[in-house]
Amino acid sequence: MKSKYLIYTTILGVLIFGASCTKLNEEFRGELEEGSGGIVDPAALLTSTYSSFNTPYQQEQRWVLQEISTDAAMAPTRGGDWDDNGMHRSIHLHTWNADNGYMNNTFVSLGTLVFNATNVLRFNPSPQQEAEARFIRAMALFDFIDLFGVAPIREGASLEDYKIAPKVMQPAEAIDFIIQELTAAMPSLPQGDTKSAYVASKNAARALLMKVYLNKGAFINRQSPEFDVADMNRVVTLAKEITASGKYSISPAGKYFDNFAPDNDVKSTENIFTLFNQNGVRGGNVDRTWNTIAHYNMTPGGWNGWCTLSDYYDKFGATDERRGIYYDYPADTTSNRKKGYHRQNVGFFAGQQYDWKTNQPLMARNPSNAPLVFTREVSIRTSGATLETAGIRPMKYAFDYASNGQRNNDWVVYRYSDVLLMQAEAILRGATGTPAEVLLLVNGIRAKRGAVSLGSVNLDALLDERARELYWEGWRRQDLIRFGKFLQAWQEKAADPDPKTLVYPIPSQQIPVNPNLKQNPGY
């Protein structure tokens, strides 16, 4: 039965998402487990479904589309490195087309997540298992609508007969479906807390519902979003329910990076939903948070690639710990901690970098006599003397030196500070509340981050605060679209001449395998 089931699900995956037989077959063969007697175990299927999050979310596919496309991140071509036929450059420049590999890979990964979650529902799960699967599916469908403007899903007969093309929901229908799914799942989800944030919970569902209601107008009309007052009041109500649960608080001063530490499942006071990573158990891919930004000569050496832009970096005040600090944590086994060098090890790396073994200034690799000084100046095609050093490098997830191989940092999806900032935004967009309440919400976060209090908060100020608080967490594109700023010019990117870029194209590989998919306008 196992062999037959593997072949069946692989064929379904190919026909829905245009992936190769080999890739999906290996994925299912590695992750699918059965109980005794050839009966499929829904618990094993659910674990496999949770694991399906890792590739698109953990500074990879979905993350690239949400961050590299904005003023927060760039993947410059460094001589012959990071060229990839212009795939990275086109995302930052908004010159992509339907053949971009990141878009197809993201579409496939999200589709696999939807299918895996739906598949759990077919094998008599417990009420909680069913609720968790419905939450995961709703989350993936939300990202489908956000990124591609459509949400493909197999239900009913199409789950049994792969010749039936998957249904494709448009934004309004998909939003209603997601709200219904989350509402139905809520009673059977566990209460949850920061120490079990990797399990879907009532508060995780509330946070996702907040995202749905807040972005509903932007998903339906991206050029001219309208924010219904009733929807904004729902955002506020959900935020207050999360607060009233008493499970979360803003991290104390100096502890912002607890939320991203190797032991963040123990330390964090903010994490509502995370992706599980434990060395030797399951998870993976969180290494990219270090590898993509670190120079070859850092400890450990990385791939010397991605960076942020100086205008984004300048949004942070000098005392704001989110900009970068020395963070003392047990998994730092280097001399930086043991010998008390205390060089900055999280946040935005700018200027001269130091060897955490010797405390001496690091040098570049080529030429080896050039100091390793990360510069504010960077171009999307970098060459010459600053080939290795151009660009400020952000790193939120403290490196897990105590683990050989996979790191144990759970990947953060929803945090309590995001909840409070969404609550503040909903009030500014018409929900019941006052300017004083907005100011209290925002300054309450800033005070814990060591940032100077603001005298007032409007929508522009709130967008900047979201940029500071949530940098490189995978929300910047969504925020810029909702605030009407995604088409504007910024460093290394001209103003968009065509609003088609407010939604990504349906990947060209996907349209032939699903006749219900129609290409987005302009592509």
Residue 1: is its pLDDT beyond 60? no
Please give the mean pLDDT across all residues of the chain: 92
pLDDT above 70: percentage of residues in the chain: 92
Pairwise pLDDT comparison (404 vs 98), residue with the higher score: 98
Q: Tens of pLDDT along 232-267?
A: 999 999 999 999 999 999 999 999 999 999 999 999
Which helix (DSSP H) or strand (DSSP E) does residue 374 occupy? strand 373-374
Q: Which of 231, 127, 281 is nearest to 189 (CA)?
A: 127
Q: Tens of pLDDT along 195-220?
A: 999 999 999 999 999 999 999 999 99
Residue 151: is its pLDDT beyond 80? yes
Residue 329: is its pLDDT beyond 90? yes
Residue 4: is its pLDDT beyond 80? no
Q: Tens of pLDDT along 360-403?
A: 999 999 989 999 999 999 999 998 888 999 999 999 999 999 98
Q: What is the pLDDT of residue 460?
A: 98
- Contact assessment for residue 236 and residue 432, using Cβ atoms and an 8 Å cutoff: yes
Q: What is the pLDDT of residue 456?
A: 97
CA–CA separation, 246 vs 342, rounded Å?
35
- Contact assessment for residue 448 and residue 250, using Cβ atoms and an 8 Å cutoff: yes
CA–CA separation, 408 vs 397, rounded Å?
10
CA–CA separation, 199 vs 125, rounded Å?
16
Number of other residues whose CB lies within 10 A of the CB of residue 433:
17
Q: What is the pLDDT of residue 496?
A: 97
- 14: pLDDT confidence band, cut at 50, 70 and 90? very low
CA–CA separation, 458 vs 313, rounded Å?
21
CA–CA separation, 120 vs 252, rounded Å?
39
Q: Tens of pLDDT along 405-414?
A: 668 999 999 9
Residue 138: is its pLDDT beyond 90? yes
- 25: pLDDT confidence band, cut at 50, 70 and 90? very low
Residue 28: is its pLDDT beyond 80? no
The DSSP letter of residue 144 is H
* Architecture, CATH, for domain 1-189+495-523: Alpha Horseshoe (1.25)
pTM metric for this prediction: 0.93
Q: Which of 491, 60, 91, 493 is nearest to 312 (CA)?
A: 491
CA–CA separation, 480 vs 136, rounded Å?
25
Domain boundaries, the chain: 1-189+495-523
Q: What is the DSSP annotation of 58-76? A: SSSHHHHHHHTTSTT-B--
Lowest mean pLDDT among 13-22, 107-116, 211-220: 13-22
Which positions ≥6 away from 240 have C-beta within 8 Å? 423
- Calculate mean pLDDT across residues 471-490: 98
Q: Residues 134, 135, 141, 145: what is their CA dihedral angle, to the nearest 10 degrees?
A: 140
Q: Which of 173, 185, 171, 180 is nearest to 215 (CA)?
A: 171
Q: Which of 151, 122, 135 is nearest to 16 (CA)?
A: 151
Q: Coil, strand, or helix at residue 404? A: coil
CA–CA separation, 470 vs 415, rounded Å?
9
Q: In the numeric block, which tokens belong to residue 252?
A: 């104390």
